[in-house]
Structure 1
Amino acid sequence: MTLSEEARERLADVVAHQPTKNGELQELWGMDSGSEVHQYLESELKEYYYRDEDSLICATPEATELVDGEGSDRVQTVTVSPLQARVTEVIAGPDAESQSVVSVLHALREAGEDPEVDEVRSALRSLADKGIVEVVQKTVPTFRLAVAREDVDVEVVED
């Protein structure tokens, strides 16, 4: 997706101010309402942002790389559940062979956790939505980290 100059500048604002709210971006961008911000995000920056569990606006790793350039040393902070945090610790790294949901489940159990398979599947999908885990389509979907562990600061929020 090719971004206009305005979209690139606004994406840089999202990266710099994340996690942020519609109201903060509304003020920064001189818009009339939070709805206008939401419409802009959805129409122009949809591939480059997500909302965390508190509905705050966050940039994807791709957005950070686009803004900072390839090889950026900016560490992305994501807020995740305790299970999602454990998944980021046990899942295959970005250069390793991707894992199935069941493989991640077994890795979690070896690490002392005992979640249900549906909880692991949900955690993986949520992490994929945040750009932290990538989905590799094979016969069944498999997963691995999309970013190096040291490039993400994982903050845990209790359910």
Structure 2
Amino acid sequence: MSLTDEELDRLADVVRLQPTKNAELEDAWGVDGGSAVHRYLEDHLKEYYYRDDDSLIRATAEANDLVDVEPGIEADAVARGDAPDRISVPRLEAQVFEVVAGPDERSQSVVSVLSALREAFDVDPEAGAVRRALRRLERKNVVDVEYRTVPTFRLAVDRDAVEVAVSDEETTGE
């Protein structure tokens, strides 16, 4: 099932707020009434949420993978478009954050970031894994993308402005 941008945004709210209630999602989504939330969940996100034994709304594992909202990210800051002070990311994303061009440097292509990773960490991830890591960091508002001949990337913040914690989960190929 392919989700629209709105559905992905709302699914990210479910993941971020879980375990949650209709009223919390009502506030987050700006809709009127818990019945509108329930209807939206059933009509658009049925495959990606469930209710636990206490009737609280929780996201499925597939939903967590789809939206890349991870524990430790300051979701409110990201929702406002601000960079968070702290992110928790898999090892590859932490390594990418360490080597990608700084905010005042010329942005880098995926291949350039891959080369920097190989040199700095003696690792050899696939280019697709590096691209996904960059895009996840972009969604966390710590990396900017600049479109030249190919998309290029650089930090949106000073490297020392964000505390990066490496989570236990590893990034999987999508």
| Fold-level similarity (TM above 0.5) | yes
Are 1:106 and 2:115 counterparts? yes
In the alignment, which residue of structure 1 is the partner of 2:28?
Answer: 38
Alpha-carbon RMSD across the aligned residues, in angstroms, is: 2.9
Q: How many residues align?
A: 117
Query: Would the alpha carbon gap of residues 57 and 21 (structure 1) be closer, same or farther in structure 2, given more than 3 Å must change?
Result: farther
1:128, 1:119 → 2: CA distance?
Answer: 14
Q: For structure 1, which runs of at least 5 residues remain unmatched after alignment?
A: 1-19, 27-31, 42-49, 66-74
Length-normalised TM-score, structure 1: 0.63
| Superposed displacement of residue 55, structure 1 | 9.5
1:99 partner amino acid: Q
Matched, 1:116 2:112: no
* 5+ residue gaps, structure 2: 1-15, 32-66, 170-174
Deviations 1:22-76 (A, max 9, x none): 668x8xxxxx6132133139xxxxxxxx9622497612296558xxxxxxxxx70
Residue 144 of structure 2 aligns to a residue whose secondary structure is strand
% identical equivalent positions: 44
Contact 1:98 1:142 in 2 (8 A): yes
CA distance in 2, matches of 1:61, 1:146: 15
TM-score after normalising by structure 2: 0.58
Work out the CA distance in 2 between the residues paired with 1:149 and 1:61: 20
| Match in the other structure for 1:60 | 78
Query: In 1, distance between residues paired with 2:30 and 2:68?
Result: 14
Matched, 1:134 2:144: yes
The answer to whether the 8 Å contact 1:21/1:57 transfers is no
Match runs of 1:1-159 below 5 Å: 21=17, 33-40=23-30, 52-54=69-71, 58=75, 59-60=77-78, 63-64=81-82, 76-111=85-120, 112-159=122-169
SS at match of 1:94: coil
The runs of at least 4 aligned residues of structure 1 exceeding 6 Å deviation read none
In structure 2, what is the Cα distance between the partners aligned to 1:110 and 1:55? 29
Q: Would the alpha carbon gap of residues 54 and 62 (structure 1) be closer, same or farther in structure 2, given more than 3 Å must change?
A: closer
Preserved contact between residue 99 and residue 142 of structure 1 (Cα < 8 Å): yes
